[in-house]
Amino acid sequence: MDLLNTLVDKGLRRELPTRAEALAVLATSDDDLLDVVAAAGKVRRQWFGRRVKLNYLVNLKSGLCPEDCSYCSQRLGSKAEILKYTWLKPDEASEAAAAGVAGGAKRVCLVASGRGPTDRDVDRVSKTIAAIKEQNEGVEVCACLGLLSEGQAERLREAGADAYNHNLNTSEGTYGDITTTHTYADRVDTVQKAHDAGLSACSGLIAGMGESDEDLVDVVFALRELDPDSVPVNFLIPFEGTPLAKEWNLTPQRALRILAMVRFVCPDVEVRLAGGREVHLRTLQPLALHLANSIFLGDYLTSEGQAGKADLDMIADAGFEVEGTDTTTLPKHRADAVAGGCGSHGGGACAPCGDTTGETAPENEPEPAASGARPDLVAVRRRGAGTDLAPNA
């Protein structure tokens, strides 16, 4: 296919595809799906070989968020029956992080619900970062705390944070349809603050919220221009009790096409396979490893993920290898771009505070088709951080 040959050539040269080419990837047929995956896989292997970076989420503060993000189970007014708790103590967070590191995670992502941190919150997270790094030699730490105020990114950097995550989520044109309590520009500003402070910036999207192909291309092109080191690709899990509870728009095939489009537009960036992969990719998850070079290990913020051992088995069975702490994640030209960057300069993508639980199947309706709604695959997290049960790692 001429389109795929062109995109591979551009990806190997780090050249931006045209919008028409990106849209064409999303419009390919299921008959061409394996060709699309194979082509994007060539680009992925050029820049990242067969390495898979593992990342582990620690939910420092769960639920009760004042923001109204429609996709999020922790949003203002959410009826989702998720865990709700206030800030974990530094030793509690460090213990949770250690489980992920023991499971093979190279990066720990510290996430807290809320509009953004107060200065006291930054102090609290700084102590947590210190505790994690003291007990887990070589671990990288990413913070995901919401909108940043002036000087906060610098303080996190001084405390030892390697990266900061704040996702754009969707296109600028449709952002107001999913959130009204802050703006798209607010999110861009926070990513730029992280960049300017010398943190490895991480920013991505959520697919499956009812957006058009044009919206998907818009947000991925905006991310390319913003130039984060890591782009997490989340797939919406429609949470019962949120405005998007009925939005089951994705098939495994479409999810793979979206990942391929992101890889072609961002060829040398760490593409993170993030929340919702188990629900929407299902048995096609191993194919996604040919597109993304990074995943989360185990559970997410408020939903349970695939068992950590199953993640490791999947990576090995697909012919990939877990990236070690002694390996730089990004290609040298990107890793060298920021003086004093972290070991991988790889942007640890923390999921948005909405990669959580799904809706219950309505009564008296037929079983969903294999390519349709699968709320049976979603479980609310009841273990790990904020509980007395061992985490999944």
**142 tagged catalytic:** yes
The residue from 44, 75, 157, 202 that is catalytic is 202
In this model, does residue 327 exceed pLDDT 60?
Answer: yes
178 vs 352 pLDDT, higher one? 178
Query: Which DSSP helix (H) or strand (E) runs through 12?
Result: helix 2-12
Average pLDDT over residues 213-239: 96
Contact 360, 353 (CB under 8 A): no
The rounded mean pLDDT for the chain is 88
Could you tell me which residue, 373 or 339, shows the higher pLDDT? 373
Q: Which residues contact 42 (CB under 8 A, 6 or more apart)?
A: 8, 11, 12
Q: What is the largest CA-CA distance in the chain?
A: 60
Binding residues: 65, 69, 72, 109, 142, 202, 272
Identify the pLDDT of residue 99: 93
Query: What average pLDDT score do residues 210-214 get?
Result: 96
The reply to whether 202 belongs to the active site is yes
272 assigned to active site: yes
* Residue-range domain boundaries for the chain: 2-360+370-377
Residue 50, amino acid: R
Is 322 strand, coil or helix? strand
pLDDT of residue 378: 67
How far the first Cα of the chain sits from its last, in Å, is 41
Please give the structure tokens belonging to residue 303.
């939903």
Q: Which residue of the set 44, 72, 75, 266 is catalytic? A: 72
Active-site entry in 44, 107, 142, 224: 142
pLDDT in tens, 138-181: 899 999 999 999 999 999 999 999 999 999 999 999 999 999 99
**65 is annotated as an active-site residue:** yes
For residue 338, what pLDDT is reported? 55
Q: Which of 44, 65, 334, 350 is catalytic?
A: 65
Instruction: Note the pLDDT of residue 182.
Output: 94
pLDDT score recorded for residue 151 = 97
The single residue of 109, 342, 350, 353 carrying the catalytic annotation is 109
Element holding 205 (H helix, E strand): strand 205-207
- Annotated active-site residue 109? The verdict is yes
Is 350 one of the catalytic residues?
A: no
- Annotated binding residues for [4Fe-4S] cluster, written as ranges, equal 65, 69, 72
Catalytic residue among 272, 277, 374, 381, which?
Answer: 272
Distance of alpha carbon 50 from the chain centroid: 19
CA dihedral 351, 11, 315, 199 (to 10 degrees): -40
Weakest mean pLDDT among 5-14, 88-97, 228-237, 294-303 = 294-303
Q: Which amino acid is at 375?
A: P
The whole-number pLDDT of residue 85 equals 87
Q: Is the pLDDT of residue 348 over 50?
A: no
Question: In the chain, what percentage of residues exceed pLDDT 90?
Answer: 72
Cα gap 303→298, rounded to integer Å: 10
For residue 361, what pLDDT is reported? 34
Q: Which two tokens stand for residue 118?
A: 């107060």
| CA pair distance 225, 209, nearest whole angstrom | 23
**Which residues line the annotated binding site for [2Fe-2S] cluster?**
109, 142, 202, 272
Task: Compute the average pLDDT of residues 267-276.
Answer: 96
Q: What is the DSSP string of 345-386?
A: ----PPPPTT----PPPPTTSPPPPTTS--GGG--B--SSTT
Mean pLDDT score, 333-342: 66
Looking at the DSSP assignment, which residues form a beta bridge with residue 331? none
Quote the pLDDT of residue 68: 87
| Residue range 16-59, pLDDT digits in tens | 999 999 999 999 999 999 999 999 999 999 999 999 999 999 99
For residue 248, name the pLDDT band (cuts at 50, 70, 90): very high
Task: Give the model's confidence band at 386: pLDDT under 50 very low, under 70 low, under 90 confident, else very high.
Answer: confident
Give me 267's structure tokens.
């060829």
What's the CATH fold of domain 2-360+370-377? TIM Barrel (3.20.20)
